Chain A
Amino acid sequence: MANRKAILISPELCTGCRACQVACKAWNQLPAEKTKFSGNFASPADLSSNTLNKVRFVEAPSEDKPLRWLFVSQRCMHCEDAGCMKICPVPGAIYRTKDGAVATDPDKCIGCKLCSAACPFDVPRYGKDGKLSKCTMCADRTENSMPPACTKTCPTGALTFGDSKELIAKAKRAGYTKVYGENDLGGLGAMYAFKDAPLLYGMKENPKVPEMVVFWHKYLKPLSLISIGGVAAATLLHYAFVGPHKDKEGDDE
């Protein structure tokens, strides 16, 4: 998409206040979850059908910085080359908004859960009704020219929303040589300005749609139609040019 909108996440500016999580729940009317302390400050510990974004807390001490705590806001990455959209069997259940976000229509979702197997970032979660529930980049807000709830509420500028290209230019002016998501998966709708290797922040290097999904989409899927159509055509050609089996004399009663 030529001019897609995106969220730029700058962990260096994040204070880990989790206002983005609260704003997300407030706008999307999602209930709080009972959590347990398990040695990490991330709360809830993982995304769920009721938690569409969260802050990851990473302790990364080094020689020169004995105390270093990274706060990484995470959500659906809104891939341009989206594995979930490729594999979803229902038209419109997962769709692209005019701003380039990957949004969902729970009424159309049939709960097959194939999208979870095709997502490079382990984002899709399913509610008690078995239907997909994930960040839509607040499609209902952006349609009305409002920024996503999490970016609207962020008090430090760690989350900013805008034109993808402008956000990349802004990050580069601020001294970031690479922006995570600028070119990954055709360009991501959630990008990161990382000072260090993405792995340190809990993000994989070079994310890709699973190869099996690409193989299926590119070859297996068209091949099934070609097979049934090709063999049907071949039988007709056989009938016309070779002809049906001829009965021997007096075969029939």
Chain B
Amino acid sequence: MNNNNMVVMATAAERVFHWMFAISCLLLTLTGFAFLFKNASIAGVFGGFESMKSIHNWLGIVFIISLLMSSAKWLKHPLRFDADDIRWMAVAGGYLSHKVKVPPMGKLNTGQKISYVGVLLSGILLTASGFVLWFFPELKTWFLLSFIAHNLSFLFICIFIPMHIYLGTIGNPGTFQIMTSGRISYKRAKNHYPKWVAEMETGKKVLS
């Protein structure tokens, strides 16, 4: 394959589910903060607190559907962990210094795998606890426990959002297009995702 050929890194379905998830997650975070800090200005944008509650609840449905749909495609990556992942963690993925040698990675690097599992677990916990908060207020203890679980798992999202936005844009130039056009050059793929490219080529699979 020519170095300048484009390879598919994210299919249309993957990109659609990613953006469904991203938009619902950001709106849920914004409305969640408005509830946490009783912010009437944000609530005003959503038509007041009562309609913001309905919007928050229904966005939760979009959130979990898009999370599960993308997981169906992506979960196989984080479940694979080898010696290179250990070495990656030892050098912090090269993010703290550009001088270290970073071990070769597959389609996702170790940090992406770990944070992906974190998003999936906290997303499931957020949805389950949100479900109790929405429908089962009479279960006093579970209701309060769900409230705490909802806020605890939200902490992970609070850490993930700015980190993911930074590393997916200005922190890693050239990465953002994977979630827009879905394609990168063959050369870039070989440089950044060598194990993935090798695996696809030996398996005679289409690069996607």
Contacts and interface: CB of A to CB of B under 8 A. Distances in A.
Given A116-B140, A245-B173, A247-B173, A220 B133 contact: no
B80 interface: no
Contact of B162 (A93, A228, A246): A228
Contacts of A250: 187
Contacts of A175: none
B185 A89 contact: no
A111 B54 CA distance: 11
Contact of A244 (B38, B53, B165, B171): B171
Interface residues of B, number: 48
Contacts of A227: 155, 158-159
Contacts of A231: 158-159, 161-163
Contact of A235 (B133, B148, B163): B163
Contacts of A93: 49
Interface string B147-168: 1100110110011011101110
A90 B52 CA distance: 11
Contacts of A117: 137, 140, 143-144, 147
Contacts of B50: 110-111
Contacts of A232: 162, 166
A65 interface: no
B75 interface: no
B202 interface: no
Given A89-B35, A247-B173, A251-B174, A228 B145 contact: no
Interface in B183-208: 185, 187-188, 191-192
B109 to A, nearest CB: 11
Interface of A: 87-91, 93, 108, 110-114, 116-118, 210, 212-213, 215-216, 220-221, 223-225, 227-228, 231-232, 234-235, 238-239, 242-248, 250-253
A110, A221, A224, A239: residue with the most chain B Cβ atoms closer than 10 Å? A224
Contacts of A225: 33, 36-37, 158
Contact of B151 (A216, A235, A238): A216
Contacts of B35: 89
Contact of B137 (A91, A113, A213, A216): A113
B158 A244 contact: no
Q: Is chain B's interface secondary structure helix, strand, loop, or mixed overall?
A: helix
Q: Which of B33, B137, B165 has the most CB of A within 10 A?
A: B137
Given A212-B148, A213-B144, A215-B148, A244 B170 contact: yes
A252 B49 CA distance: 48
Contacts of B174: 247, 251-252
Nearest to B94: A245
A160 to B, nearest CB: 33
A242 B185 contact: no
A220 B38 contact: no
B45 interface: no
A228 B165 CA distance: 12
A110 B49 contact: yes
Q: Which of B29, B50, B98, B165 has the most CB of A within 10 A?
A: B50
A239 B140 contact: no
Q: Which 6 A-B pairs have the closest CB atoms?
A: A113-B137, A235-B166, A227-B158, A232-B162, A89-B35, A253-B185
Contacts of B158: 224-225, 227-228, 231
A243 B4 contact: no
Contacts of B185: 251-253
A136 B15 CA distance: 52
A165 B98 CA distance: 68
B135 to A, nearest CB: 11
A244 B172 contact: yes
B161 to A, nearest CB: 6
B65 interface: no
B159 A216 contact: no
A117 B96 CA distance: 45
Contacts of B165: 235
Given A112-B133, A239-B171, A247-B174, A253 B4 contact: yes
Nearest to B144: A117
B97 A242 contact: yes
A114 B188 CA distance: 51
Contact of B98 (A90, A223, A224, A243): A243
